Chain A
Amino acid sequence: MSAAAHSVVEPTPASKRIAGAIIILYAVVSMVPLFWIIATSFKTPPDSIAYPPKLVFTPSIEGYCNLFTTRTRQTAEYIASLPPPENFCDEVTRKRNMVIAGPSNFLPRFVNSLIIAFGSTFCAVFLGTLAAYGFSRFKVPLADDLLFFILSTRMMPPIAVAIPIYLMYRELGLSDTALGMILLYTAVNVSLAVWLLKGFIDEIPREYEEAAMIDGYTRLQAFRKVVLPQATTGIAATAIFCLIFAWNEYAFAALLTSGTAQTAPPFIPTIIGEGGQDWPAVAAGTTIFLVPILVFTILLRKQLLRGITFGAVRK
């Protein structure tokens, strides 16, 4: 047999099968922690800390009940004196000699995450598209240096950025506000957005808009009606990146928010039971928190792949 049969250009069926097997094995193993998060969220607290770790268990939503409520320990007599439980959460809580005292802070923190992540993504993509168009179509002096400098602000450790921002926000009254966080995340993301989108817009031939302008469009109209529709894929890819960053961000949120505008990432690690962390509740919070990102990853995988490889290749 000649070496041609083993060429990289067209791998042999056997080498394909082996490659496939290794990749699938890796994929499955790397999914185990994620699977364990979801499984733990449906365990009861005793099941979650059982030794050996339980693979088979009766699912329960106690973790989700604990995630959304705060509970206090009471005497059995007191619990017996209460009216019958209103719902499932009431029932499981009472079985542990506790009663629900009120809602937990998880929901407001989750809502904060939604507002701040989507708000900042919108702003970053909006500003980024405009600026990218500006950089792409007009000769801006020192454009390359300016672009590189914009990007290099991302090299600073977030804690380093947070020190002056903390002082500035304190003076401006922006500490622990959604507005402050949206501004900050927008600023962090806009550098990436400009730079990614400039690449996408550079690929759109100038002749299209110039033709449109000769037809009587103003530059703004040409931008809106000709360039924007062409750039949709790029805008979508950029938006996902900005969203993932803003959704997952921890350091700024932990240092610059304390309650009112706190997002989910600094909150979830502080979910505790009577002692240390209440792992089923933490897992439940983690699961709910991961769902939007998982959905995005699967729905928009093509744009995502394009964005990552594109970003890398350009740099």
Chain B
Amino acid sequence: MTETNASLLDRAAQAAARSTPEPVARRVRGLSDKGVAWLFIAPTIVLLLAINIFPLIWAIRLSFTNYRANRPNAEVVNVGLDNYRRILTDSDIWFAMQTTAHFVFWTIVLQTLIGFTLAWLIDRKFRGHAFWTTIILVPMMLSPAVVGNFWRFLYEPQIGLFAYVVSFFSGIPPTDIQMLSSVRLAPWAIVIVDTWMWTPYVMLICLAGLRSIPDYIYEAAEVDRASNWRQFWSITLPMALPFIMLAVLFRGIENFKMFDMVNLLTGGGPGSTTEVASITLKREAFEKWRTGFSSAFAIILFVAVFGLANIYVKALNRVKSR
């Protein structure tokens, strides 16, 4: 293992040195460029190999065994693809994947709609827009775990502020607004908190998109007497689309991995209504301690998100190049 790493790094450094213009390399005193390249890149590579790559390989290895981290003395048996087969045929896991998909879908829809609208409004550059933009950004800076935990209090059916406000406007008695207890409402409870936290992020990326549209295009549209409506549909939206798609990609990946906020808000309940994939994985890995099984699940999740993201990036590039 170490030997291959070393030779890989060596080759990297040599190539780096080769690519640097000869005269410069000869003229510098002290460390050669090769040495500098070594010195600069190696620590990061070593750290990533140790903390990211090596564990990943270990996890792949474990995913073919029945290893349990809480049974150090038990015999470890190779089970081949058994873990993968069990996961792909496990109805609970499919249910968790559906729950995740539902969560990802609705958070993206809401965040994109609201985020884009906000960005479009901020782009009017009214007085004080910079200040209010900063204020809007605050929720996304907060810890999803710590703030998610507090939302449990806001969602309390009687004493919670959320139920009180909703009942104030809707007339439904606050004891009936059981955001976290009701099978129907709980999936929306997590969508609301995520939307509250992350709409600002989508807004910001959309804003960058809107600002990247050069003024002369609009000026040309004015000359053609295109209506505002036309301008929006034929200039603003298409030109901002790559940015919107990027925001969707980032939020999609993040919410596919979602653990902290949901874990503290509902813990997957009631029943298994809000049990997203990461919560199932945590239960398998750190409560049931089925390490081999959960490693296989982890690999499947990784491949899924990696694959989906790659397909999406290809689509994105097509949109960009249009």
Contact = CB atoms under 8 A, between A and B. Distances in A.
Does chain A touch chain B in the assembled complex, meaning CB atoms less than 8 Å apart?
A: yes
Interface of A: 2-4, 6-9, 11, 15-17, 19-20, 22-24, 26-27, 30-34, 36-37, 40, 48-53, 127-128, 130-131, 133-135, 138-141, 150, 152-153, 155-168, 170, 183-184, 186-187, 190-191, 194, 210, 213-214, 218-220, 223, 244, 247-251, 254-255, 264-266, 268-269, 277, 279, 282-283, 286, 289-290, 293-294, 296-298, 301, 304-305, 308-309, 312-313, 315
Secondary structure class of chain A's binding surface, majority of residues: helix
Contacts of B236: 8
Contacts of A139: 15-16, 18-20
A74 B37 CA distance: 67
Contact of A184 (B51, B121, B127, B128): B51
10 closest A-B pairs by beta carbon, nearest first, are A160-B298, A139-B19, A164-B55, A250-B145, A138-B16, A248-B143, A187-B51, A20-B126, A134-B40, A131-B44
Q: Which of A36, A156, A251 has the most CB of B within 10 A?
A: A156
A264 to B, nearest CB: 7
Interface string B52-85: 1011101100100000010000000000000000
A18 B95 CA distance: 44
A223 B30 CA distance: 13
A297 B137 contact: yes
A150 B51 CA distance: 12
Given A30-B136, A158-B259, A168-B55, A194 B44 contact: yes
B186 to A, nearest CB: 18
B136 A218 contact: no
B231 interface: yes
B116 interface: no
A157 B259 contact: yes
Contact of B243 (A24, A140, A312): A312
A315 B55 contact: no
Contact of A53 (B132, B160, B222, B246): B160
B139 A9 contact: no
B162 to A, nearest CB: 9
Given A131-B44, A141-B11, A268 B146 contact: yes
Interface string B11-25: 110011111100010
Contacts of A160: 59, 281, 297-299, 301-302
- How many of chain B's residues touch chain A, expressed as a range? 35 or more
19 contacts: A7-B218, A16-B127, A19-B122, A23-B118, A23-B136, A30-B200, A134-B36, A155-B302, A157-B281, A164-B56, A164-B58, A164-B62, A167-B291, A190-B47, A213-B24, A219-B30, A219-B36, A250-B143, A309-B208
Contacts of B28: 213, 218-219
Contacts of A167: 58, 62, 69, 291
B285 interface: yes
A265 B208 CA distance: 32
B44 A190 contact: yes
B94 interface: no
Given A32-B161, A140-B37, A191 B143 contact: no
A155 B49 CA distance: 16
Given A167-B58, A290-B146, A158 B257 contact: yes
B228 interface: yes
A184 B48 CA distance: 10
